[in-house]
Amino acid sequence: MTKYFVYDVFTDSRFGGNPLAIIPDASGLPEGDFQRIAREFNFSETTFVLPPDDPSHTAKIRIFSPLSELPFAGHPTIGTAIALARQGHGPDMTLELGVGPIVCHATDHSARFSTQVPLKVLAEPEVADVAQVLGLTVADIVLQTHPPTTATLGIQFTITEVRDRATLSAAKPNIEALRRFATKYPQAGRFAQHVYTRSDGVIFARMFDPLDNIPEDAATGSAAATLGALLVKCTSAPQEFVIRQGDDMGRPSRIEVNAKAGSVTIAGSAVAVMEGQLL
Active site positions, annotated: 45
Q: What is the DSSP letter of 98?
A: T
Contact 30, 50 (CB under 8 A): no
How far, in Å, CA of 219 to CA of 206, rounded? Answer: 8
Determine how many CB atoms are found less than 10 A away from the CB of residue 136.
Answer: 21
Rg (CA), the chain: 18
Are 259 and 253 within 8 A, CB to CB?
A: no
8 A C-beta contact, residue 190 and residue 217: no
φ, ψ dihedrals at 51, nearest 5°: -60, 145
Cα separation, 78 vs 94, in Å, equals 12
